Amino acid sequence: MARLTVNGHLHDVDVDPDTPLLWVLRDTLGMSGTKYGCGIAHCGACTVHVDGVATRSCVLPVSAVDGKAVTTIEGLAPNGVLHRVQKAWIDHDVPQCGYCQSGMIMAVAALLRAIPNPTDAEIDAAITNICRCGTYQRVRAAIHAAANV
């Protein structure tokens, strides 16, 4: 058994404590916005916030988030009001296939909380998510736009 709080809701789930948070979100709680890409914390498709910090959930045992607040892409726009990063993403036409974008957006939302107006170098250092469609140019433009909202 494990206990976790996702997007403000408390869940008790019947899984092994070593189960990565990603698979609890996807398979147990049925929240598919957070994606599996590599399983080794390289691609960032599984990025969620744990107590506000961008975290790759594919290698994080669910037992590690007991008592902490997990936010997923489904929780980024409470009551359907889009987060400024999501709005900037639409304005700059970022997504292509879209598969990496949940993780990319979560990583950027956390970055802007930590560094409100990041330089290009800070963006390069913080945003290491893989986008196989290569949306990076638009991601960068959208980050700068979201920072200046």
Q: DSSP string spanning 92-106? A: TT--SS-TTHHHHHH
C-beta separation of 103 from 47 below 8 A: yes
- 67 touches other proteins by CB under 8 A: no
CB of 115 to other proteins, least distance (A): 15
- Which of residues 9 and 132 has its CB atom nearest to other proteins in the complex? 132
Rounded Cα distance between 64 and 121, Å, is: 31
- Which of residues 8 and 134 has its CB atom nearest to other proteins in the complex? 134
User: Which residue, 130, 131, 129, 111, is CA-closest to 119?
Assistant: 111
Which of 5, 7, 32, 63 contacts other proteins by CB under 8 A? 32
Rounded Cα distance between 32 and 63, Å, is: 20
Binding site for other proteins (CB under 8 A): 15-16, 19-20, 23, 26-28, 30, 32-40, 42-43, 45, 72-74, 76-77, 82, 86, 89-90, 93-102, 105, 123-125, 127-140
